[in-house]
Amino acid sequence: MLHRRALILSGLAAALAGCQTTPPLGAGIQISAVRVDVSRLVELGVGPYAATIKAIIERDLTNAFAPDGRRGGATVTVAVRSLFLSAYVGSDFDDGEGSDSLDSLTTVTDANGRVLATYPVNASNGSGDAGAWYDPNLIDKRIARLATNHALWIKRMVQG
């Protein structure tokens, strides 16, 4: 019986070995630059929303990391890969039942271009979190909230 348990535990440990994630680099790392690439969103036809997402993530990460532009620090590069906005009709009962999501791959490199860490980031918000369904600016608000949430997750993953 002990052998069976050992076999099961080793199988579970082997399966979970691939789930190891990169630990945060910590708050002490000096960030010199933040770059956000939304070219994939442009390819997907997201259009003007790609520019909005880029501006919000760059602004929020610049404020969070306070890059000073000095040489020798790390660069945080965010490659935004996908945007999903759920169909939202709104109701008092279910608040829309859908989620909006933004997916990216965040890479931190040192001054020599050596990769220090890579973090896949997927942030999501409820599709009804940004306001009433009849608000003419609802999509803009949903995208702004999603981009801000995404930047917060990136900060958490990089600095802990």
Q: CATH 3.30.160: does it fit domain 25-159? A: yes
- Cα 99 versus chain centre, distance: 15
- pLDDT value for 94: 53
- 83-128 pLDDT, tens digit per residue, is 998 886 665 555 556 888 999 999 999 989 999 999 999 999 888 8
- Read off the pLDDT band of 43 (50, 70, 90): very high
- pLDDT value for 3: 55
User: What's the number of CA atoms in the CB half-sphere (13 Å) around residue 48?
Assistant: 2
Using the CB atoms, write b or e for 67-85: b if 16+ within 10 Å. beeeeebbbbbbebbebeb
What residue spans define the domains of the chain? 25-159
**Neighbour-count burial of 160, counting CB atoms closer than 10 A to its CB (0-12 exposed, 13-18 middle, 19+ buried):** exposed
- 7-39 pLDDT, tens digit per residue, is 555 555 444 444 446 676 766 788 889 999 999
Return the residue matching tokens 């801000």: 148
Least confident of 17-21, 59-63, 68-72: 17-21
Measure the CA–CA gap between 121 and 158, rounded to whole angstroms: 11
- Read off the pLDDT band of 50 (50, 70, 90): very high
With CA atoms as reference, report the closest residue to 60 among 157, 142, 143, 155: 155
Given CA atoms 151, 38, 62, 116 in this order, what sign does their dihedral have?
Answer: positive
Rounded mean pLDDT of the chain?
Answer: 82
